[in-house]
Structure 1
Amino acid sequence: MKKFTRDETVKILHESSIAYREKLAGRVFAVIYQDSSAGAGTAWKRIVFSESNFAHLTGVCYAEQVTPKVFFQMCCNNRLSPTKVRFRKDGVTHLKLAVLSYLAEVLYHKFWIGISLHNDVYINADYFVGDTKNRLSLGIHQTGNKDVPVSLKNQSVRDNVDVLRKVYAVYSKRVGTKEAWACVYVDEKIVHEINQDLLPQDIRDAMK
């Protein structure tokens, strides 16, 4: 396992936060996927990303007492002090840093989704998504009418879910807006298998 220096960590946090802000923060994603347990073979999840989610996904502790949102803004503005960066003693911080740069793109390319095996008692994730290159797993927790990211692991999603499910397509829009869903990923080989009757009307409209 590579151990990052504090200067390397600040650089990773800055570059990853910029990508996170551009691709994920303030956006809701509708992930449509193949699921034989859903009867007609189609299911979907709604995942919401906020600026405040970023800090927890990094595994970094910061010496200053700042809120997760302020920490994210400091990362974006490259205002973190390397001397105030702290690493977890169990090595988890370095594992997260190793894949943090891939996080912003995970929903924009081919990836897998699956129900959590709950094989890590410290992670309260209901399901995971992960890239097909087996670099990372992003844990998602279902809360109320939205799902939010709660964990980032330097581990194949295969090791964290019951069954790998193929993703048909992903649609996204800004949280709190009336803009239409925009397609950000589609698997052209299997998208024709979607049972649109199981999807919300607004997403069905976007697929026309």
Structure 2
Amino acid sequence: MKYDKKQALNIIVATAANYKEKLEDKHFLIIYQSEKGIQYIQAGFRSSHFLHMTGAETKLTAQRFYERCIDGKLAAGDFELDSKGNAQRKLEVLPYVPELLYNNCMIGNFINSGIYIRADYFVGNTKAVLSVGFRFGKKVDYPVTLYNEDIRKLSSPTCKVLAIFRKRFDDGFYGKCTYLSKGLQAEKLPVPKELKGFLKV
């Protein structure tokens, strides 16, 4: 499906509202099962990260673009959709982004297959349509790109996520479980020792 500017605008503004509710200023602790055992990463979302996932091209700063979305003031004239179809592909899956870390998902290291992607790993849904790329950060990792693609084509090995916990960026510990794999109990997860002081369930 090819979206016109009005349709694109509606998708972007609606997703921004959900992004604010579900992701903005929140950190997520993703615990997963790898070949090396139980591992984890911490990923954080800020308002300035939203623009990169829309694929829109704009002269506005990432922060201003997001603010105009939230205030309902973003206009079709504020952005362009690239001619290569990159934005179109992202818009197809953009509405799923705010729900990604609240549902069953997978994680895997990015396969550097010659495609220029500034991502270290991807988290993707099990419907094989949505993959969000992250880069390693000093304290927490951060999202840098969005793909309408099966994560198993972008990463290897692709690992099963066991549980996801959430906190506000300025909180000292993770206390909210947003996803738990079937058959597991949050209080009995075999988490690494270094997480004991940061995870309260």
TM-score (norm 2): 0.93
State the match for 2:142 in structure 1: 148
For residue 77 of structure 1, report the CA deviation from its aligned partner: 1.8
For residue 199 of structure 1, report the CA deviation from its aligned partner: 4.5
**Which amino acid in structure 1 is aligned with residue 41 of structure 2?**
K
What is the total number of aligned residue pairs between the two structures?
A: 200
State the match for 2:120 in structure 1: 126
For residue 117 of structure 1, report the CA deviation from its aligned partner: 0.4
Bigger drift between 41-50 and 174-183 goes to 174-183
Q: How does 1:1-208 map to 2 (within 5 A)?
A: 2-37=1-36, 41-62=37-58, 65-119=59-113, 121-178=115-172, 180-190=174-184, 194-204=189-199, 206-207=200-201
CA distance in 2, matches of 1:104, 1:184: 12
* Contact 1:29–1:172 (CA under 8 A) maintained in structure 2: yes
For residue 75 of structure 1, report the CA deviation from its aligned partner: 1.1
Gaps of 5+ in 1: none
SS at match of 2:156: coil
Aligned residues with identical type, % of pairs? 29
* Contact 1:35–1:43 (CA under 8 A) maintained in structure 2: yes
Gaps of 5+ in 2: none
**Which amino acid in structure 2 is aligned with residue 142 of structure 1?**
F
- Supply the RMSD in Å over aligned alpha carbons: 1.7
SS at match of 2:47: coil
Bigger drift between 171-180 and 149-158 goes to 171-180
Q: Deviations over 1:67-112 (max 9, x none)?
A: 1111001112221121333011211000000100000000000001
CA distance in 2, matches of 1:8, 1:202: 46
